[in-house]
Structures are given as C-alpha cells and as structure tokens.
Amino acid sequence: MELVRATEAAAIGASSWVGRGRKEIADGAAVDAMRAFLGTVAFDGTVVIGEGEKDHAPMLFNGERVGTGDGPACDIAVDPIDGTSLTATGRAGALSVIAVSDRGSMYDPSAVFYMDKLAAGPEGRGVVSLEQSVGDNIRELARALGKHPSDLRVAVLDRPRHEGLVDEIRTAGAGTRLLSDGDVGGGIDAARHGSPIDLCLGIGGTPEGIITACAIKALGGVLQGRLAPRDEAEAKKATDAGHDLTRILDLDDLVAGDNTYFVATGVTGGDLLRGVERTSRVIRTESIVLRSASGTLRRISAEHLPEKW
C-alpha cells in the first residue's frame, strides 16, 4: 500500500497536464510527487532504473537511495509516467509505475538502451521464443490457446522500425494492436488473463523490459529479450562490458529470484487501468499490485479528497 500511494501521487500529479501538450511538465510533476512519497516508505531502496538528472536537479536518478533506510534492502525501478506522449496528447494507456525486487537482483540496463522483446501469458511458456520466426510464434501460440491465428492480437509499438514486423504478423494471419507509446502496459496485457492482447513483440526500451519482467513474474507468463544496439559504438560498448548480443535473456536474467513487486496507477484510461478522474468532490484512481511470491494481482480503487491530497 505504501508503494501504491507513490504511484497514485505521481498519477494525480500528472493528471492536471493530460492533453495539454507539455510532456516535460507532466513528467516533472509525476517525478516530484513520486519521490516525495517514496521517501516515507520503510525500506532501504536503491534506484537501479530511474529518471536521471533533469534541469540540474536530481530526481530519482540511478543510484539514488530512497525510503526511510529501515527494512529490506531493495532494487527499485521507477517510471513516474510510462507514456509521457500519451499523457501530453490525452491518449489512452499512460501509467505511473514502480517495480521492486531484492537488492542486486535487477539486470543492469545501462550498456544498451533497446532490446528486442517477446511477452505472452502462461500458455506461451515453452511455446514461443525469440529463436523462432514471427509466423511460427503466432501459429504455435494460437495452437496452445485453442485459437486460430486470425483470432490473435499482437501488440507492437508503432514505430518505423517495426514496419517489417507488422507485415510478418499480418502475413501470418494475426491482427495488430499498434501502441503509440508505453510498452510496459503492452507486455503486461499480453501476459494478463482476459486481456484482448495475446502477444507483444518488437524493439523497446531495456529498462521497460526489466520493469515488465517484475510484473510478468507474478502473472506466470513469459518474457524474453535480446539486446538491440542502435549503432556500432553502442554494440562495442556492450561487448566491452561483457554482454553477449546474441544471448536471449529470460525472466530470471532480467530480474532474479521470486520476490518482486510491481505497482501501477492509471494516468490516462486504457485496457489495463482506468485513468485519473477528477470530480467536484473527489479524485478517483485505479491501481494494480502484482506480487511474484504469491502470484496475486490486486486491483485498488481509491477516492481522494482534493483538499487532503
């Protein structure tokens, strides 16, 4: 619940800027609110995936210590707004996100910013893989789900780099759900029971992949990643740091152990969560909490009195 208070605060802070075209200001409001609430949580947290330093002011930067310093030692990954462009334009799917795991358990994403990712639900374990073609993954997953390939929907970030991928998906008979931003939500939707998304594919941020891994561990799904350097210089940096660019990273590579928490609050409404709703009397939020040790997904609906928030 303490972590939920932090994502609620970030989402509420950003909500005043939804649709106003000022994504930097929206992100700054979310960061300030999340950072203030994380300072009250009883744990010794180190930010492994954070915001960096903006405008010469440290705000949830990598290596920052958060929490009261008491309690368990944890790795923290934060994304005060996953989907700043969605927030700025008023589109669906923006989230405020925190992921937590035991100290030293999160993969260091600093060598390469992007990775090729694949996410699916429990039925995809041992069935889909980045080693297989897109068509084979769609056909094998459809068989495991008891569906026809034409019934499958595949989430893909809407980027020029994915034009060929989208063609492969459609050639295999499946449909696409193009995401304008925010592939954390896309990966979770692919693994979540009852979601309209069956599979999530494509190149997205390595930090977002690690955050998503914390959630998918609780959902029992599958997530694979392979580092995708943007150029030769980044590839050399990665190999010099000891990374194998051909290696497929699985859930345990991205976040070790079985003690992860993932918390998200909706900023703008989408398939996963309702967005922040402001009325004359209350501010409404919807959040989820996923815990890998127990395999639970909890939904939390809250009403906040504006004068006390």
Going from N- to C-terminal start, the domains of the chain cover 2-103+259-308, 114-254
| Model confidence at 89: pLDDT above 80 | yes
Is 79 annotated as a binding-site member?
Answer: yes
- Give the pLDDT band of residue 59 (cuts 50, 70, 90): confident
The pLDDT mean for the chain works out to 93
Percent of the chain whose predicted confidence (pLDDT) is above 70 = 98
Which of 3.40.190.290, 3.40.190.10, 2.60.120.10, 3.40.190.90 is the CATH number of 114-254? 3.40.190.90
| Model confidence at 102: pLDDT above 60 | yes
Which of 287, 219, 285, 218 is CA-nearest to residue 257?
Answer: 218
Residue 210, phi-psi category: left (phi > 0), alpha (psi -120 to 50), beta (remainder): alpha
Q: What pLDDT, in 10s, does the model give residues 64-78?
A: 999 999 999 999 999
Q: What pLDDT, in 10s, does the model give residues 183-233?
A: 899 999 999 999 999 999 999 999 999 999 999 999 999 999 999 999 999
Q: Are strands 175-179 and 222-227 parallel, antiparallel or unpaired?
A: unpaired
Is 182 annotated as a binding-site member?
Answer: yes
Distance CA 111, CA 196 (A): 34
| Model confidence at 21: pLDDT above 90 | yes
Q: Note the pTM of the prediction, 2 decimals.
A: 0.91
- Give the pLDDT band of residue 53 (cuts 50, 70, 90): very low
Is 83 annotated as a binding-site member?
Answer: yes
| Model confidence at 138: pLDDT above 90 | yes
Residue 124 DSSP code? G
**pLDDT value of position 57:** 43
Is 183 annotated as a binding-site member?
Answer: yes
Identical fold, 2-103+259-308 and 114-254: no
Q: How many CA atoms lie within 13 A of 261 on its CB side?
A: 18
Is 159 annotated as a binding-site member?
Answer: yes
Is 261 annotated as a binding-site member?
Answer: no
Is 161 annotated as a binding-site member?
Answer: yes
Task: Please state which CATH class domain 2-103+259-308 belongs to.
Answer: alpha beta
